[in-house]
Amino acid sequence: MPTSTKRKGRRPSPPAVSAVGLRKAYGDKTVLDGIDLHIPEGSVFALLGPNGAGKTTTVQILSTLISADGGQAQVAGHDLATAPQAVRGAIGVTGQFSAVDGLITGEENMRLMADLHHLSRSRGKQVTAELLERFDLADAAGKPVQSYSGGMKRRLDIAMTLVGGPRIIFLDEPTTGLDPRSRHTMWGIIRELVTGGVTVFLTTQYLEEADELADRIAVLNDGRIAAEGTAEELKRLVPGGHVRLRFTDPHAYRNALAALRDARRDDEALAVQIPSGGSQRELRSLLDSLDAAGIEADELTVHTPDLDDVFFALTGDDVATPAKEATR
Ligand SMILES: Nc1ncnc2c1ncn2[C@@H]1O[C@H](COP(=O)(O)OP(=O)(O)OP(=O)(O)O)[C@@H](O)[C@H]1O
């Protein structure tokens, strides 16, 4: 077999990121309490967690901006502790600590980046033009960045990161604060990057974003990975399916609470939530009991488990995310 001869002796490519037991504390506050990660090349990995869970800290460690107190990690096959320079050469980072300078133009920002990567003048010019075009910034290239919209700044930030041709990109909350259209544009960009062979490590508070983009998702809580898997695997972890009945008449609401055992109450919304897999048989049985008790709900919705349920089950009820708030 010709291919096996060709491949003989070639080592399989290392994972994009591999970490064991990463720890970090600030004073007596433990931020990361033993994080293990294994991210194959060419995939999208989402680190999901509530505010303060340690997402940015993880990105900062893996991108060599800060050092861990314990544990080991390799990024693009290079050890963080012994070869940080090689790690830096293989990665790009964008996000909360953006490198974009608002006072100069988009093109000037790009050219600065090209200089930092020691590209020749003509190569720098070519790469800048290509990337500005690709990220739909060619028309705004000559304008100061402070006049750009939030979405344009994020696109420029990613374009600047790509100047060095990174194999792994860390995106720290890439769509926080963007409107829905810009968010979708950003998702398209991330998908395109992966098609081009780049590995994407993104942090997000948006469950929908992780669900849309990530091959694998890890939920970070209290400094530990509470669960890790594909979106489907995570959804199977929690029994989040339920039927929700909403009432406008407080009397009918109270009757429903009395008639339905296992119901969770929401006094503010006058709604009850009954655990259910959502099958036809279960729904019929529920409707039969409502009929028997003479109860008529104003609204009935069937809810199958989603990442919201996983997130709330794993990170505790007191945590609110933008995605969850939007559904309230
Ligand atoms: N330089 C620092 N000194 C002291 N505490 C810090 C420092 N950096 C982060 N922390 C603390 O570590 C915890 C984790 O912060 P981190 O920014 O990693 O969380 P995060 O998951 O990215 O949160 P967010 O979604 O709000 O950005 C927080 O409690 C934060 O206050």
Task: For residues 180 and 264, state if they share a domain.
Answer: no
- Boundary of a domain, candidates 205, 236, 267: 236
What is the band of 318 on the pLDDT scale with cuts at 50, 70, 90? Answer: very low
CATH code of the domain in which 183 resides: 3.40.50.300
Distances from the Cα of 230 to the Cα of 202, 217, 277, angstroms: 15, 6, 21
Task: For residues 48 and 130, state if they share a domain.
Answer: yes
Q: Cα of 135 to ligand 1 centre, how many Å?
A: 31
314, part of any domain: no
Assess whether the C-beta atom of 31 lies below 6 angstroms from ligand 1: yes
What is the band of 319 on the pLDDT scale with cuts at 50, 70, 90? Answer: very low
Task: For residues 283 and 221, state if they share a domain.
Answer: no
pLDDT at 10 over 80: no
Q: Cα of 57 to ligand 1 centre, how many Å?
A: 6
Task: For residues 105 and 143, state if they share a domain.
Answer: yes
Tokens of residue 115, six digits: 């200089």
Assess whether the C-beta atom of 24 lies below 6 angstroms from ligand 1: no
Task: For residues 229 and 245, state if they share a domain.
Answer: no
Task: For residues 175 and 250, state if they share a domain.
Answer: no
Task: For residues 191 and 271, state if they share a domain.
Answer: no
ipTM rounded to 2 decimals: 0.96
Domain that holds residue 176: 17-236
Assess whether the C-beta atom of 55 lies below 6 angstroms from ligand 1: yes
Closest residue to atom 1 of ligand 1, CA basis: 26
- Boundary of a domain, candidates 215, 236, 257: 236
184, part of any domain: yes
Assess whether the C-beta atom of 26 lies below 6 angstroms from ligand 1: yes
Compute the average pLDDT of residues 253-281.
Answer: 89
Question: Structurally, how many domains does the chain consist of?
Answer: 2
**DSSP letter string over 130-146?**
HHHHHTT-TTTTTSBGG
> Is the separation of the CB atoms in 107 and 115 below 8 Å?
no
What is the band of 73 on the pLDDT scale with cuts at 50, 70, 90? Answer: very high
Task: For residues 252 and 167, state if they share a domain.
Answer: no
8, part of any domain: no
Tokens of residue 269, six digits: 């919304």
**What is the average pLDDT score of the chain?**
87
Task: For residues 197 and 271, state if they share a domain.
Answer: no
Task: For residues 82 and 62, state if they share a domain.
Answer: yes
What is the predicted pLDDT for the residue at 98? Answer: 66
Cα–Cα distance for residue pair 298/271, rounded to 1 Å: 10
- Boundary of a domain, candidates 236, 251, 280: 236
Assess whether the C-beta atom of 50 lies below 6 angstroms from ligand 1: no
Task: For residues 246 and 101, state if they share a domain.
Answer: no
116-125: burial string, b at 16+ Cβ within 10 Å, e else: eeebeeeebe
| Residue 158, number of CB atoms within 10 A of its CB | 22
Beta bridge partners of 74: 18, 79
What is the pTM assigned to this prediction? 0.77
Cα–Cα distance for residue pair 15/131, rounded to 1 Å: 27
171, part of any domain: yes
Task: For residues 117 and 215, state if they share a domain.
Answer: yes
Closest residue to atom 5 of ligand 1, CA basis: 26
Share of the chain above pLDDT 90, in %: 59
- Lowest average pLDDT, out of 63-72, 215-224, 275-284, goes to 275-284
Closest residue to atom 9 of ligand 1, CA basis: 57
> Residue 51: which residues within 8 A CB-CB, separation 6 or more?
205
User: Within 13 Å of residue 142, how many CA atoms lie on the same side as its CB?
Assistant: 1
> Is the separation of the CB atoms in 246 and 271 below 8 Å?
yes
280, part of any domain: yes
What is the predicted pLDDT for the residue at 309? Answer: 78
CATH code of the domain in which 294 resides: 3.30.70
10, part of any domain: no
312, part of any domain: no
Instruction: Name the CA radius of gyration of the chain, rounded.
Output: 24
176, part of any domain: yes
